[in-house]
Amino acid sequence: MAEGHRKEDTGSGGKRSRRDVIAGAMRIGGLVAAGGALGALARGERSEPTVWQIDPSKCIQCGKCATECVVTPSAVKCVHTYALCGYCKLCFGLLKDKRTGNTLAAENNRCPVDAIKRRFVEDPFYEMFIDESACIGCGICVNGCNRFGNGSLHLQIRHDRCVNCNQCAIAKVCPSQAFVRVPASRPYLIRTARRG
């Protein structure tokens, strides 16, 4: 009985079967889906540009940022996350852990180029700031701050200096794969908590 109710396509004036209609609809649906996928790929090619940045949670302060960058001095600079800082008088980003006193004499400073300065706030608090024009991105101060302090110092690529190489020379040799591509509209990764 069901066989008798199916209408067959008998040519130009005949009706199409339900199977033919469904198959046609599936072909059209497949074309629409393929078109959508191609549109998504096209939009992906026009997606927001990206820039290189250092993920502070992965950085191990190996020193390669100072020596491997194609820009001299390096486009990598130490930055200070003031919201995390304890404003300590005895800052281990600034001062060596084994020193001959609490003076700011050159032999007591951790930074090889004297790029970290401190300003008196009120006893016993000091504000540390980085002279980025002097900073070479070696990470020595960041290492000291992470080991003995509160972790408020970290390394960051400064995009007014970086030439955004397709394959960053530092990223190629970074032992912790801390170099990542981030959207150009949000180019800076800020440390939000101390490393564990």
Give residue-wise pLDDT tens across range 7-47. Answer: 444 455 557 777 877 777 677 766 666 666 565 555 555 68
Confidence (pLDDT) at 8: 47
Q: What is the rounded average pLDDT of the residues 160-168?
A: 93
Q: Where are the domains of the chain?
A: 2-45, 50-183
- Single-letter code of the amino acid located at 160: D
Report the residue count for the chain: 196
Per cent of the chain over pLDDT 70 is: 80
Q: ∠ CA 75-77-83 to the nearest 5 degrees? A: 145
For the chain, state the CA radius of gyration: 30
Pick the more confident residue, 90 or 177.
Answer: 177
Instruction: Give the tens place of pLDDT for each residue, 35-80.
Output: 665 655 555 556 899 999 999 999 999 999 999 999 999 999 999 9
Instruction: Give the tens place of pLDDT for each residue, 88-110.
Output: 888 899 999 888 777 888 889 99
Determine the straight-line distance between the first and last CA of the chain, rounded to whole angstroms: 75
Query: Whole-angstrom Cα distance, residue 174 to residue 97?
Result: 26
Cα dihedral 178→73→187→142 (10° resolution): 50
Candidates 188, 181, 190, 195; CA nearest to 50 is: 181
Query: Which residues is 125 bridged to in the sheet?
Result: 122
- DSSP-derived secondary structure letter, 71: S
Query: Which residues is 155 bridged to in the sheet?
Result: 78
pTM of the shown model? 0.71
